């Protein structure tokens, strides 16, 4: 491999000749060979947006000339287009401020810009990082990436599954089945009502995620090193937030208190709480689906789901609810990530949080996994759910909890005696009730109508 010599304030260092990063990136690359987790691509793209926005704002405020603005903007556009993906190698497990990733982007912008210019015209600190600090750019990138992940990926995924549940509700109107509580038979419910519960879970989680966007739309940029805005021109924070909004089409604003936005990560904790709520609901929905489809002969068997893959390497013909299993594993990961996000956010010592890379790594993984998981679950499972009407009807009429409709006529205790006798002697509720003398056969038929219990 060929190398070139780069330098920073600590001296010279050898850098791969075919890479645009510089000395500070190389030092981090060599000093933190930890794990396989890299700074997420979403953060790099967010940095490209904010660096371009900062250059535009600096130009509008008279600090940056047109030629440098053009070069910085061109390189940022290349980053956003994925043309420079191989030039951001740094690990999550680096400095807790993300300083080296900020400099990685600055160095790539400067070196690629200088290549375009044909001369040393851009400096990573003086130009790419003008009016900025790693301490305000990394939290800004976190918020841009988090808001984008929710708005552009997760919300559409939720909407897709909501639409499918709406269709299933319409298709299954009028189908009555037994309800279940504590994994035990309960009073009847319509299949549409059951599906409506799943749908509303998603609608509630969607609303919580939308609510969390208000905090994520606040940007730390302009606070520079400790929140005072040192070395940033007056009005830079407002202008750069305006430009980020122009570039993204989203309503970003400058944070009112930069001392909070550099050290506090509560907006991310709040938003991840909504991700955890969605994960919890998806765990419940996926478990319901696999319980209801269990069998095919020795389980509940009340619904059919698509048969996607062979389920066993030894048992021929076995098919498993694999999409449900995938959803529940994702849910477990998101719930675990919530612990990491919360603990990372608690480490805002004095004027800066220094757990930012691990915080956003887990946040973005959760958003990414949920987005992909919901689409996969929808396309490969939920769209193909069909009611096993015969099994639902059989289970409904075998349920002893239909006895609940007799409470107003024979009382709770007599209804309980009726159910227990029917269960112990394996006879119908009607036979039990009549044998106990609580109702005549004719009166029983008159008041015992499961269809009206929903």
For residue 297, give both structure tokens.
């002969």
Active site residue: 312, 326, 376, 432, which one? 312
Q: Give the residue from 314, 366, 350 showing the smallest Cα distance to 157.
A: 366
Q: Give the residue from 418, 189, 211, 374 showing the smallest Cα distance to 278.
A: 374
CA quadruple 209, 212, 214, 216: dihedral sign: negative
Measured in degrees and rounded to the nearest 5, phi and psi for residue 317 equal: 85, -5
Measured in degrees and rounded to the nearest 5, phi and psi for residue 188 equal: -65, 160
- Asked if 439 contacts 447 with a C-beta cutoff of 8 angstroms, the reply is yes
- Is residue 312 among the annotated active site residues? yes
Beta bridge partners of 184: 181
Q: Give the residue from 177, 148, 235, 239 showing the smallest Cα distance to 392.
A: 177
Q: Given the structure tokens 């912008």, which residue do they identify? A: 109
The rounded distance, in Å, linking the Cα atoms of 212 and 200 is 18
- Asked if 141 contacts 47 with a C-beta cutoff of 8 angstroms, the reply is yes
- Asked if 6 contacts 12 with a C-beta cutoff of 8 angstroms, the reply is yes
Active site residue: 182, 260, 371, 399, which one? 182
For residue 324, give both structure tokens.
């449900």
- Is residue 196 among the annotated active site residues? no
Q: What amino acid positions are annotated as catalytic residues?
A: 182, 312
């Amino acid at each position: 491999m060929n190398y070139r010599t780069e330098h920073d304030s600590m001296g010279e260092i050898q850098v791969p000749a075919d890479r645009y990063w510089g000395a500070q990136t190389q030092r981090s690359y060599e000093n933190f060979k930890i794990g396989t987790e890299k700074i997420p691509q979403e953060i790099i793209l967010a940095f490209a947006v904010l660096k371009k926005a900062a250059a535009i704002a600096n130009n509008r405020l008279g600090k940056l000339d047109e030629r440098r603005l053009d070069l910085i903007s061109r390189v940022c556009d290349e980053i956003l287009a994925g043309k420079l993906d191989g030039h951001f190698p740094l690990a999550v497990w680096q400095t807790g401020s993300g300083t080296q990733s900020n400099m990685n982007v600055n160095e790539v912008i400067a070196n690629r810009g200088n290549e375009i210019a044909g001369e040393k015209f851009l400096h990573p600190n003086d130009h790419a990082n003008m009016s900025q600090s790693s301490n305000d750019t990394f939290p800004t990138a976190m918020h841009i990436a988090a808001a984008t992940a929710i708005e552009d990926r997760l919300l559409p995924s939720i909407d897709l599954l909501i639409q499918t549940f709406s269709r299933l509700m319409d298709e299954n109107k009028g189908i009555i089945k037994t309800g279940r509580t504590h994994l035990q038979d309960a009073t009847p419910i319509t299949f549409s009502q059951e599906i409506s519960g799943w749908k509303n879970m998603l609608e509630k989680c969607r609303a919580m995620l939308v609510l969390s966007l208000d905090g994520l739309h606040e940007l730390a940029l302009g606070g520079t090193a400790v929140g005072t805005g040192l070395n940033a021109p007056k009005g830079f924070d407002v202008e750069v937030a305006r430009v980020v909004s122009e570039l993204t089409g989203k309503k970003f604003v400058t944070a009112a208190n930069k001392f909070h936005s550099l050290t506090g990560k509560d907006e991310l904790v709040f938003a991840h709480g909504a991700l955890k709520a969605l994960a919890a609901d998806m765990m419940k929905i996926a478990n319901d689906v696999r319980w209801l489809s269990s069998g095919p002969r020795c389980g509940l068997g009340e619904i059919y789901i698509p048969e996607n893959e062979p389920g066993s390497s030894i048992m021929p013909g076995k098919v498993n609810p694999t999409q449900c299993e995938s959803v529940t594993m994702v849910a477990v990961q998101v719930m675990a990530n919530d612990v990491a996000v919360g603990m990372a956010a608690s480490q805002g010592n004095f004027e800066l949080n220094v757990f930012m890379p691990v915080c956003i790594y887990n946040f973005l993984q959760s958003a990414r996994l949920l987005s992909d998981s919901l689409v996969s679950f929808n396309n490969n499972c939920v769209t193909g759910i069909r009611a096993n009407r015969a099994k639902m009807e059989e289970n409904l009429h075998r349920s002893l909890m239909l006895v609940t409709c007799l409470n107003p006529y024979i009382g709770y205790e007599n209804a309980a005696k009726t159910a227990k006798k029917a269960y112990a002697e394996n006879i119908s509720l009607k036979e039990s009730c009549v044998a106990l003398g609580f109702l005549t056969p004719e009166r029983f038929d008159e008041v015992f109508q499961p269809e009206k219990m929903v």
